[in-house]
Amino acid sequence: MSNHQLDNASNKSVKKAVLVLFHNDLRIEDNETLVKAATLTKSNQGNLMLIYAGFLADCIEPKESRQAYHFNEMGAARQQFLSESLADLDRSLQRLGNRLLYLSPSYSSKSQLSQDKVESALNAFTQLCQLIEQQQVTDICVSHTADYNQNKGYAALQSKYPQIIWHRQSTHTLFADLPTQDLPKSFTQFRKKVEASHDLLNADEEVAVFPTPKSLPPMPDALIAHSKYLFKTQPSDEQALSFKGGETNAMIHLTHYFDSAAPRTYKTTRNALDDWTHSTKFSPWLANGCLSVKILLNRLRHYEREIIANESTYWIWFELLWREYFYWYAIEHGSNLFLFKGIGHELPATHFDDQRLQQWQNGSTPYPIVNACMNQLKQTGYMSNRGRQIVASCFIHELGLDWRYGATYFEQHLIDYDVASNWGNWQYLAGVGADPRGCRQFNLCKQTQQYDPNGEFIDKWQGGHVS
């Protein structure tokens, strides 16, 4: 009997499988992708494989070949938050009768990309292909994403396996489709159009969410004993970070926030640089998909009905619309999100300067408020929205640097990194994006006086002396 016949004989004994590729949907509540996969699997009486294979584009096309301003390692805080999120997802899946499989290459603490890491990245895509073939995958379920490079990974799989049926669900946004006929050129136009025809905040009915599965079909028997694919909890830094990854912690924070008085004063406190209660802090869980934005909006609607509806509670909706706008902006502009000239026609008058870049990254610029924000980011993976505007303005105007290097550094370290919001906001501030006013420059002395008048934030994060 030939090897081909042996393979066919072996495959006949393998149940067909449905595959879920998690990305920015790391939860079980209101996860249409998971519901769809479970339904398909049950109808096929097959197996269900649940895989996290992040950075697929790096596996098929190493980042350094795509852009000169790549990073070699994920920041410690971002990696820890992601690991905690995956561990929580794995525990939830186990309660439902399945397990999380993990094929993403690990990030080491080495400053250079080692040969082992390159091989690991390439091998992750190869391993995914092997699983698809060995387990006779008939369907692949993914969530829609604005991540251009992740979508390139999906496209590579579709090209390799044209016989597999793909199912894409909306899990990351309020709207399954662009809620306007065309994407407006500015956020204000987008907001007005949405509020005129799709005002979810004041709609009669709550936003519909998908039920949590009571159970899941099992993974293939062969993988249960194949421990190299099973997700293993990574040792975490002993440093106590304010943010803890995972859907469980997301729901705890959601409850605590709306049980407090913080929502009623959000608009007046949201620009604070370093207070836990002064902004919502939902962004890390939203970015990783540990928290459904629809569940969040329904909780906000409940707060307005039962507690108070004022300008501050409206402003939470306002910020959710900003997030929505940048998502559709990233979908609309694709690879232009990463161009030096952005979506414009003229190149910015900035350039690359390694010494100035290092000063900014290391918090050793002549500007204490900037240094403090950068030190906070490196230690915690978090920076307030006001802080991000301050350091980005300094990066572009005072230091005269190519904005893409700033966006990439944020990608490396932010625990709430979201490709659309991050790159869209950097384009916005650099004057090459969705802003009719062009470049926005902040007066750093005025910002310091307004948001850190006593120097407490600068002292805490060792920003240096204010002259």
In the three-class reduction of DSSP (H, G, I as helix; E, B as strand; rest coil), residue 138 is classed as strand
The answer to whether the annotation marks 266 as part of a ligand binding site is yes
Q: Is 190 known as a binding-site position?
A: no
Q: Is 281 annotated as a binding residue?
A: yes
- Pairing type for strands 165-169 and 137-143 reads parallel
Task: Answer positive or negative: Cα dihedral of 286, 288, 294, 298.
Answer: negative
223 marked ligand binding residue: no
Helix or strand holding residue 165 (H, E): strand 165-169
Quote the tokens at residue 323.
């997030």
Report yes or no: 341 and 431 within 8 Å, Cβ to Cβ: no
322 is in an annotated binding site: yes
- Does 30 carry a binding-site annotation? no
| C-beta of residue 287 within 8 angstroms of C-beta of residue 418 | yes
Nearest to 393 by CA among 347, 434, 426: 426
Residue 321 annotated as binding site: yes
Binding residue per annotation — 350?
no
Mention every residue, 6+ apart, whose C-beta is less than 8 A from residue 411. 71, 417, 419, 422
Between CA 269 and CA 261 the distance in angstroms is: 12
* Dist. CA 324–CA 331, nearest whole Å: 11
| Residue 102, annotated as binding a ligand | no
Query: Of the candidates 391, 425, 415, 407, which has an alpha carbon nearest to the alpha carbon of residue 322?
Result: 425
CB 153 within 8 A of CB 124: no
Instruction: Identify the H or E element spanning 127.
Output: helix 115-134
* 32 annotated to a ligand binding site: no
34 known member of a binding site: no
Rounded to whole angstroms, the Cα distance separating 132 from 114 reads: 28
Tell whether residue 280 is among the known ligand binding residues.
Answer: yes
**Are 133 and 139 spatial neighbours (Cβ–Cβ below 8 Å)?**
no
Which residue in this structure is represented by tokens 């007005």?
192
Nearest to 412 by CA among 121, 74, 117: 74
CA 445 from centroid of its chain's CA atoms: 32
Binding residues: 266, 279-283, 319-327, 416-418
Binding residues for FAD: 266, 279-283, 319-327, 416-418
